[in-house]
Chain A
Amino acid sequence: KNQVEQSPQSLIILEGKNCTLQCNYTVSPFSNLRWYKQDTGRGPVSLTIMTFSENTKSNGRYTATLDADTKQSSLHITASQLSDSASYICVVTSGGYNKLIFGAGTRLAVHP
């Protein structure tokens, strides 16, 4: 069964600290992996998209990694800011356009 599992479910960190969110997937065939940020009460916003051949991609203070062999991805946030408080969703695309499998997300709270 195609699944995307994220950990931890929730995380609290202090402003200025770094953190890493995890995503494990069992999706086949694999097309690409995406990370989205979802602020409370808003729709998800794309952070990165990585294909099979890419093992790292950055977007400002966000760096995503992908290990296609172990089927794991991580999202590293550097020097966190209060505005980073949000849910982070890992999405794996399999084959066709209708096969996006969403993780349940990690809820991050950044405290001053």
Chain B
Amino acid sequence: NAGVTQTPKFRVLKTGQSMTLLCAQDMNHEYMYWYRQDPGMGLRLIHYSVGEGTTAKGEVPDGYNVSRLKKQNFLLGLESAAPSQTSVYFCASSYNRNQPQHFGDGTRLSIL
């Protein structure tokens, strides 16, 4: 089992460019999440999904969109990248809300 796989691992963008981060899980989990991790701060939830075809906003959703067209995939989109979105992005999945979340190894994104 690969667990949770994130692509790409690194990316540098210019302000105003758009991109999509891909998260794939092979554990048949219903719940999937996107977080960002900034220095000196705890992880913050951007968006989450409780099943195929559903998405919901987390704590810091502005500037991001998500889609969950297939149960195993959760996509995070940046419509018009801004320097404030420079961060490490983590995807996670869980069987249900009471089970531990399994995290990918992150995407390091720099916006110039």
A interface with B by C-beta (< 8 Å): 4, 31-32, 34, 41-46, 49, 89, 91, 93, 96-98, 100-105
Contact = CB atoms under 8 A, between A and B. Distances in A.
Interface residues of B, number: 23
A43 B45 contact: no
Contacts of B103: 43-45
A98 B100 contact: no
Contacts of A91: 42
17 contacts: A4-B42, A34-B100, A41-B105, A42-B105, A43-B92, A44-B90, A44-B101, A46-B101, A49-B98, A49-B100, A91-B42, A97-B31, A97-B50, A98-B45, A98-B56, A98-B58, A101-B42
B29 interface: no
Contacts of B43: 44, 89, 102
